[in-house]
Structure 1
């Protein structure tokens, strides 16, 4: 089965990378000055310190505390006097771990992969820096050399952290659901997460059955049921986006204010204009009410579709046991039964998307 690789929180990764480059570049005068007066300052130490402080989350207190702790940790690693590549690797891991420690509870394995990747690319960044220095800036390094060296190391370190933002899926249906989780909130998000979990459990149960046409058909039915949930969830997310553009309470307040002004004015033309404006906003208010009812129906259908996936899992659990041949027959029967359930649910009328637009 082909693997599907997804990049999650792409905007956050891009933002953190740019901040890391800016943080490393901000220390250019320090590196240029120490190089000019022949003070032994490790370029990786300086680049990682600036990149980590700039790209971490939190306010100035968090950055200050993390910067002090990271400075001590990097200095200890540097003073151990291990081989240069090993020292740079450990420095990169420490800096990445300090930046991503807040994400460790949610995705420990991916964060660990990002920490290792960041550490592994720091020696490569230092090698590229040395090549650039030898070819472009030798024998008189200066501000430009320091700027290029620091940003190159910070860039390689940031690219190594990309593994913390990558999610690998073995199933396209579950990958679609995982992508939807970040677009939804509240009850709908919980239903999508539940469907992803149920679909994975169902596939594990199907994997215990004997290979054959029935098993393949059953996998297709399960994918279809889960896809139905995700399609409804996408429609629900689109409906929410349309409703967020204009709040019914604000529109209702505007209508009341316009009607009050129309009743208070003595000029007939002004009164007519205010009444027309109130009437127009009243139509928009009715339209928002229609959209809100459609949102409620979509959420109800989402619950019903998730219940179908739940019934499929219960049916698969109940089909455990028996010999291999019996399991093959059970797969075909289950596929037919679940397909009938899906067809029954498909008979329920679904709200059609409204072609008109909400005036925000």
Structure 2
């Protein structure tokens, strides 16, 4: 297990979840006190997890509605299965823990973020285990605390709120599963995999593209979750991945394109030509001339590759410049009102999608022209024999 697995992500989001869980637990405690007064007691270990899930539901309206419905159903279901009290509380808490992980995924958006970590099935399982254990522990602590508060004649309404908040705290801590060792963003993971293979300008430009991609992700995370945000996220992911993949195609070629390598080939060619002129044997001279001609072709090919490299570098610089424009544009969006943000975000997403498409088509057209020129130089049409 590497260090990344134990890394803690999004501390502020976790703190917000725990704060909401505390407030929801206190409210559930007061509701349980009310049910006791009405003579229809409801278990606190059902009310609190359900209230925490309802309070921490994230996403759009459909996501929040679905998560809230599942919270009421799955958390209450164990109480109708006739299980022992311990297993009932544990099963209910496990459902709450898994749903808190899902709430975090809804908050991120499965395709609406860039450079973000996303929960996986492992984290759902971890959330269930933590939810079960912490809910059981919270129930025990709540029972002990209730006795202590009763012994000092604490007002029942205040005691109910405090006890509920304690259980809510334990349930909310189960959300930590959604913040530990999350799977990296696929584009970011691919870039980090390819970067060690790159060198020179390709490494520098790819590293800059990844850095800008991460900055854009931080800005996108602060914007409202809109379809335009997801469209822009996909566009930025496509630009970044395309730039890194393009650079990786030239991995290992940098050393061959150095001036020293070309000079060595030219020196070897000149040496073969001198040897051919000095040779007195016709067969040996012919072999030396063929070898020198072959090296001349290699020198020309290196020149062509150097030109193609310049085109690729220019294309990568254009991709990086586009990401830089996106970063600046997203920074300016963060200071506007919500309605203006949504409208500007939609316009920004359309504009960058058009720019990315046009830039990609232009690059493909240039590659096609370069390939045709290369083929024409490498395989010239032979003249027909004289009649």
Greater C-alpha radius of gyration: 2
